[in-house]
A and B are shown apart, each in its own frame.
Chain A
């Protein structure tokens, strides 16, 4: 292969790579805004509340919280993520620092209300 042909091939490869990268980035943006977030039903489940109160009550907590503070799923996840990876610790910290709200008289932490709101949104979308 001559040096001219080789330069043309290299340029084409670079172009393909750039296109693929752009497509991948676009896909990520689309996924981030519209596609379901698996972690919203698994990673952020309020396990203690679900075990004690059951899903119906947790959804009711979530709906009540959303009616006071309407938020998108993305925003809820973003807020939960920003609090750090250990939700249990975050809930405890909420109670310790007074970040507590009354829902039907129940004293619930802000973090777990975000979790309940996520469950409520999934419930509304028919997701498990």
Chain B
């Protein structure tokens, strides 16, 4: 049985359930970042895909709390299957595995700087792409407009007994099952676990005060301007919205990360528009713009939009670069695991009587150090290779380390229900089962113990497929 809190399209009254408080660093409106309807947030995602890097799974001495409870190979087969569901170009994930490899990569020393391959989904809108598959599936019973408002445990608090569903009309239904999977998004999973406290006063899975802790984002920031020293074909670095299927970005090798004590990050290069200011994703993609984008692309990309995107596709050849050798450098950096960055419950309640989420997003000194020193390491590597010079944005060039007023993220809510073998350090085990609960599993980026430098969707889908396989073998 699949319970969907929303319907097949957005309903403002239902979407309002996702509204919440932001009490830490400035963050997007919580009701704008996630979509409460069939297909969820794939309704407005951008399609950026890459698997987590092997270093993301390792326990790094310079990143407290890092490490996944399994090796990267564990997810590999599921990444392949997830890539198919997300309609990506097939193939491995080394830059040499790209379909188009005719254009050269920047000639940098591999000891100092590497490349990371990204692939782009059309983007697949799960709500439209897989609706019929789900509705017609013999083994799936889909209930829409069935928001879960509470998890009820057995009296001893070691298993879920049933879910409480309160339909928009006020009708309440109890759903019993042998196995339960919560896949309501990072914040909403936390909210349900914490607010379901009939037999467990601290909430479900929260015996060690771990639920809600370790909220993470990807720090997506413009960090500087790059000037190429020689004209070069930049086709493989280019990204044109709705058109590009693969591109490469720059990445500091693990040894460099270790030497300078850096978090993982990926640097993209986009042709700079002369005279334009570098803007954060906060400013470039406010919720109303995103909503307009979602409306326009609700069934993938319409042929009209794709034609427009093709028409606007920019040249990235040698001649273009000769005319303007300047590129904007954007970083997508992982956030250090941080117990103080957390989701708790607000005193305010939604129309269903459920406490709203309260987000206290916090960064650490390691996040800032990585942004400053990682960008400088990039500039040194490019300079040593004779490839380019890098101009840092003002706040990174300043003598005193300090964040700018706005630190922007990628709309990637991660953590809060971290995966860890030790129940004192995480909420779910390596199989995504909630510690202390015999029959409750979590899906979504909330279980990520470390977020890496890759956008989360591919890993979310891979983990969901792995969980489905696990449950199928268990049941």
Interface residues of A (CB under 8 A from B): 48-49, 51-53, 88, 91-96, 98, 100, 102, 104-109
Contacts and interface: CB of A to CB of B under 8 A. Distances in A.
Contacts of A105: 224, 391-394, 397
A8 B383 CA distance: 67
23 contacts: A48-B386, A51-B229, A52-B229, A52-B325, A53-B227, A88-B386, A91-B383, A93-B384, A95-B383, A95-B384, A96-B380, A98-B380, A100-B379, A100-B380, A100-B383, A102-B392, A102-B397, A106-B390, A107-B376, A107-B380, A107-B383, A108-B383, A109-B383
Contacts of A102: 392, 397
B380 A95 contact: yes
Contacts of A53: 227
Contacts of B228: 52
Range of interface residues on chain B?
Answer: 20 to 34
Given A52-B229, A107-B376, 6 more contacts: A48-B386, A49-B389, A52-B389, A105-B224, A107-B389, A108-B389
B79 to A, nearest CB: 36
Contacts of A49: 389
B385 interface: yes
A107 B379 contact: yes
Contacts of B391: 104-107
A94 B384 CA distance: 7
Interface in B313-361: 325
The DSSP consensus for interface residues of chain A is: helix
Contacts of B325: 52
Contacts, number: 54
Contacts of A96: 380, 384
A128 B229 CA distance: 23
A78 to B, nearest CB: 24
B380 A48 contact: no
B386 A92 contact: yes
Contacts of B227: 52-53
B383 A92 contact: yes
B389 A106 contact: yes
A103 to B, nearest CB: 9
The 5 A-B pairs of least Cβ separation, nearest first, read A95-B383, A95-B384, A107-B379, A105-B397, A105-B391
B381 to A, nearest CB: 8
Contacts of B386: 48, 88, 91-92
A49 B230 CA distance: 10
Nearest to A48: B229
B115 to A, nearest CB: 19
Contacts of B379: 100, 107
B58 to A, nearest CB: 27
Interface string B290-313: 000000000000000000000000
A95 to B, nearest CB: 4
Interface in B193-236: 224, 227-230
Nearest to A47: B229
Contacts of A48: 229-230, 386
Nearest to B394: A105
A106 B389 CA distance: 7
Given A92-B386, A98-B380, A107 B392 contact: yes
Contacts of A95: 380-381, 383-384
A104 B380 CA distance: 16
Contacts of B229: 48, 51-52
Contacts of A91: 383, 386
Nearest to B224: A105
Interface string B427-440: 00000000000000
Contacts of B389: 49, 52, 106-108
A52 B387 CA distance: 11
B390 A92 contact: no
Chain B CB within 10 A, most for which of A88, A94, A107: A107
Contacts of A52: 227-229, 325, 389
Contacts of A108: 383, 389
A51 B381 CA distance: 20
A48 B390 CA distance: 14
Contacts of B381: 95
A98 B376 CA distance: 10
